[in-house]
Amino acid sequence: MAVAISAGGVSLSGDLAVPDRPRGVVVFAHGSGSSRLSPRNRYVAEVLQGRGFATLLFDLLTEAESVARARVFDIPLLAERLLMVTDWIGKREELEKLPLGYFGASTGAAAALVAAARNPGQVGAIVSRGGRPDLAGGSLEKVSVPTLLIVGGNDVGVLDLNREAAKRLRGTVKLEIVPGAGHLFEEPGALEKVAELAAAWFESYL
C-alpha cells in the first residue's frame, strides 16, 4: 500500500505492507542515494513479510533532495526523518502496539543508530546491511538496542569500520560476515543470507 508521510514540512513516499496478525513492524532506512524502490531492500522486506512482519519502505529524502550529495550524508537529518516516521507508525491503529525494528543500509544504518540513541524506548532491534555505523559518531555509545551488523567478507573497508563500531555499541551486538560478498551482496546466495539473518534477529528481539 502506497502511503505519504508528512515529515518536517515535506511529504515522503512509502510502501507499507501489513500481513495478517503481524508480529512486529520493520522500518527500512535506505542510504547513499537509494530509495524505497531498492530491489535489495524490497527482497528483504518480502522475506520479513513472509515471516509475519509488517514492513515500511520509505524515502528518507524527497526526489529533489536526493540529488544533493550533502543531503545523502546528512545523518542528523536522516535520523530526524526516521523518528518522524516512527511517530507516524505509532498513530496508525494497525501498527501502534507492535514492537518496532529498524533495517538500515549504508548511511541509513547510521541514521537508524542515531534515531535509536535518541529514542531508545521505541526501538526493539536494529539490523544493518553493509552499513556505515561509524557515521553515527558519538551516538554509538548511547545505543543499547540489540544490533546486528551484516557485512560482506569482501567489503574490506566497511568491514573494518563495522568492527570498530561494534566495540562502541553498549547493547547486545553481533557482527555477521557473509563470505565472498561485496558491498551490494549481489553474489549468488548473498542477499538470501542477509534476509535470513535479519529475519532471525527480528524474531529473537521483537
Determine the pLDDT at residue 73: 78
**In what side-by-side order are the strands of the sheet with 10-17?**
2-7, 10-17, 53-58, 24-29, 100-105, 125-129, 147-152, 173-178
Determine the pLDDT at residue 88: 95
Residues of the chain with pLDDT under 70: 32-35, 37, 67-70
Residue type, 36: R
The SS3 call for residue 178 is: strand
- Catalogue all structural domains in the chain, each as residue range(s) with its CATH number: 2-205 (3.40.50.1820)
The SS3 call for residue 149 is: strand
Determine the pLDDT at residue 59: 86
Task: Please give the model's pTM, rounded to 2 decimal places.
Answer: 0.95
DSSP string, 20-33: SS-SEEEEEE--TT
Cell representation of residue 204: 529473537
Report which of 6, 54, 57, 66 is spatially closest to residue 28, judged by C-alpha positions.
57
Phi, psi of 177 (to 5 degrees): -105, 125
